[in-house]
Amino acid sequence: MSQQQRIKIARRIAEEFEDNQIINLGVGIPTLIPDYIEGKDVYLHSENGLLGMGPTPEEEFVNMDLISASKKPVSVETGASIFDSSDSFLMIRGGHVDVAVLGTLQVDETGEVANWAVPGQNILGVGGAMDLVAGAKKIIIATMHTSKDGTPKLLKKLTFPSSGVRKVDMIVTEHAVFEFKDEKMFLIEVLSDITLEELKEITPASYELSTKKLIRV
Amino acid sequence: MKKLLKLEHFSELIKDGDKLLVGGFGLSGTPLSLIDEIATSGKKNLTVVSNNLGEKGKGLGKLLVSGNLKKAIGSYFTTNGDAVNAWSKGELEIELVPQGTLAEAIRCGGAGIGGFYTKTAVGTKLAEGKHKMTFDDGDYILEKAIKGDVALIKALKADTLGNLIYDQTGRNFNPVMATAAKLVIAEVDEIVEAGEIKPEEIVTPHLFVDYVVVTKYVKEGGRYVEPATTN
């Protein structure tokens, strides 16, 4: 069930992509997305220094010096390029990456994201999360609507440390799609059989119904 | 070849308390042989600047076991349980830096630039205590350049002058680190005659490289293994 929901999120996000976009996919649900980008020419950017990342190779072609940001073996697409870490983050920070799809711990109702640290736990890893939040042209959050124990993730205010002041553009969960405009959150699609009342109950963040016709998929 | 260094003489170039820039992303593009030498050298109080500390018991992870480290500066240590434990027990200092800030700080260190303003981490815990500036398009924080005493890098191939090329994404932090330390030592799989690597293919020009060491590891099935374990 949960894997089906994760795939639903991945599929829905893939619909957002446009031809010729440069896309950076974070860890977690975003890693499922490449299987669902059908018929679109997009270029996957990996922050360890690769543009034109391809699928997992057959075992005989594995080279652990050709890996993704999740440190898994990958292949290269025709026309791929390889560069060092400073150029890779120049691309990210400098606004040359069109879309970053990120997992998250929490998002608040203005679109501020917390996706690197949990209070009270050791804070020993940030990776490229803050660079992507600061620099990608469009940020889409891929997340389950609540954490495993049912704790809401879409909140009025973050309780976990922020990843930056830059606001995200869209959230896709197994239940709904939200868009942000001028730091306001709008429900634009319902993706499950959840009622609007039930959705409200698991979503402490305030949101408005989109002025466009609300789509129920 | 002037710059050729024997692996067994390498650790003589390292002093207690040195700050080492060590290339790699996880174990990819990591100078595994040089790290092994440090692990058995008895050197103390080293600071390592590297994206990660390898993996548990592998790559830089070995230096946690052998007790050479005082401090680690990098972006992601959570996946190495030994690093988390050493930090919890107060045996290891950790300075967390966003990955892009780390790369740019090292690039500046090698480029004669003292620091730079970035929008990464503005408004977060990692910006605390850092100078803030408002530019036309928003707020930025000041990050200082990073330089090392010694850079340990991993390349695929050197020529006899010390020009380097890298294997795929094993390039990662290695080219910037090669510019930012007083002494730069490159571990390579192979040394070829000058001229065999075309000028337009060279990634790290030889002026950055002080010594070249041939790795003791061999690549099998796409992974580096120690020859002793492969028969």
Domains annotated on chain A, with CATH = 2-216 (3.40.1080.10)
CA A12-A15-A21 angle, 5° bins: 130
Least Cα distance to A92 among A42, A141, A127 occurs for A127
The yes-or-no verdict on residue B229 having pLDDT over 60 is: no
Q: What mean pLDDT is reported for chain A?
A: 94
CB contact, 8 Å: B230 with chain A?
no
User: Closest approach of chain A CAs to the CA of B104, in angstroms?
Assistant: 6
Stated as kind and residue range, the H or E segment containing B208 is none
Q: What mean pLDDT is reported for chain B?
A: 96
Instruction: Give residue A123's pLDDT band: very low, low, confident or very high (50, 70, 90).
Output: confident
Least Cα distance to B24 among B58, B47, B69, B70 occurs for B58
Question: Which residues in chain A are contacts of B29 at CB distance < 8 A?
Answer: 65
Instruction: Give residue B227's pLDDT band: very low, low, confident or very high (50, 70, 90).
Output: confident
Q: Do A105 and B92 touch, CB atoms closer than 8 A? A: no
The yes-or-no verdict on residue B46 having pLDDT over 80 is: yes
pLDDT at A1: 56
Stated as kind and residue range, the H or E segment containing A171 is strand A170-172
- Residues in A whose CB is inside 8 Å of some CB of B read 46-50, 59, 61-67, 71, 73, 76, 82-86, 88-90, 92-93, 117, 122-131, 134-135, 161-166
* Residue B153 burial (C-beta neighbours within 10 Å; 0-12, 13-18, 19+): buried
The yes-or-no verdict on residue A213 having pLDDT over 70 is: no
Q: Do B173 and B148 touch, CB atoms closer than 8 A? A: no
pLDDT at B132: 98
**Looking at the partner chain, which of B124, B203, B222 has a beta carbon nearest the beta carbon of A62?**
B222
User: Closest approach of chain B CAs to the CA of A192, in angstroms?
Assistant: 35
ipTM of the complex, rounded to two decimals: 0.96
User: Closest approach of chain A CAs to the CA of B193, in angstroms?
Assistant: 24
pLDDT in tens, B131-142: 999 999 999 999
Q: What percent of chain A has pLDDT over 90?
A: 90
pLDDT at A61: 96
The yes-or-no verdict on residue A184 having pLDDT over 70 is: yes
Helices B99-111/A85-93 angle, 10° precision: 120
Give the three-state DSSP class for A156: coil
Which residue in A51, A63, A65 has the most chain B C-beta atoms within 10 A of its own C-beta, making it the best mutation to test that interface?
A65
* Subunit contact A125:B77, Cβ cutoff 8 A: yes
Which residue in B172, B203, B208, B223 has the most chain A C-beta atoms within 10 A of its own C-beta, making it the best mutation to test that interface?
B172
Q: Do A104 and A170 touch, CB atoms closer than 8 A? A: no
CB contact, 8 Å: B170 with chain A?
yes
The catalytic residues of A are 47
Q: How far apart are CA B58 and CA B35, in angstroms?
A: 10
**Residue A208, strand partner residues:** A186
* Subunit contact B222:A92, Cβ cutoff 8 A: no
pLDDT at A210: 83
**Looking at the partner chain, which of A46, A128, A161 has a beta carbon nearest the beta carbon of B100?**
A128
Question: Which residues in chain A are contacts of B170 at CB distance < 8 A?
Answer: 65-66
The yes-or-no verdict on residue B230 having pLDDT over 80 is: no
pLDDT at A120: 84
Count residue pairs from A and B with Cβ separation < 8 A.
161
Tell me the two tokens of residue B177: 């680190």
* Subunit contact B99:A47, Cβ cutoff 8 A: yes
Which residue in B21, B87, B120, B136 has the most chain A C-beta atoms within 10 A of its own C-beta, making it the best mutation to test that interface?
B120
Contacts of A176 (CB under 8 A, 6+ apart): A145, A187, A189, A190, A191, A192, A194, A199, A203
Query: Exposure string (b/e) for A50-88, b if CB count within 10 Å is 16 or more?
Result: bbbbeeeeeeeebbbbbbbbebebbbbeeebebbbbbbb
**Residue B117, strand partner residues:** B142
Least Cα distance to A141 among A173, A184, A165, A110 occurs for A173
pLDDT in tens, B103-150: 999 999 999 999 999 999 999 999 999 999 999 999 999 999 999 999
Q: Do B192 and B13 touch, CB atoms closer than 8 A? A: no
Stated as kind and residue range, the H or E segment containing B19 is strand B19-22
Q: What percent of chain B has pLDDT over 70?
A: 98
Q: Do B103 and A89 touch, CB atoms closer than 8 A? A: yes
Question: Which residues in chain A are contacts of B79 at CB distance < 8 A?
Answer: 125
pLDDT in tens, A67-119: 999 999 999 999 999 999 999 999 999 999 999 999 999 999 999 999 999 98
**Looking at the partner chain, which of A48, A131, A161 has a beta carbon nearest the beta carbon of B120?**
A131
The yes-or-no verdict on residue B59 having pLDDT over 70 is: yes
Dihedral sign of CA atoms B109, B112, B118, B124 in order: positive
The yes-or-no verdict on residue B226 having pLDDT over 80 is: yes
User: Closest approach of chain A CAs to the CA of B56, in angstroms?
Assistant: 14
A82 phi, psi to nearest 5 deg: -125, 140
User: What one-character-per-residue DSSP string does B150-191 give?
Assistant: EEEEEEEEEETT--EE--GGG-TTHHHHTTSEEEEEEEEEEE
Domains annotated on chain B, with CATH = 7-99+147-215 (3.40.1080.10)
CB contact, 8 Å: B214 with chain A?
no
pLDDT at B79: 87
Instruction: Give residue B231's pLDDT band: very low, low, confident or very high (50, 70, 90).
Output: very low
**Looking at the partner chain, which of B94, B139, B169 has a beta carbon nearest the beta carbon of A82?**
B169
Instruction: Give residue A212's pLDDT band: very low, low, confident or very high (50, 70, 90).
Output: low
Question: Which residues in chain B are contacts of A66 at CB distance < 8 A?
Answer: 167-170
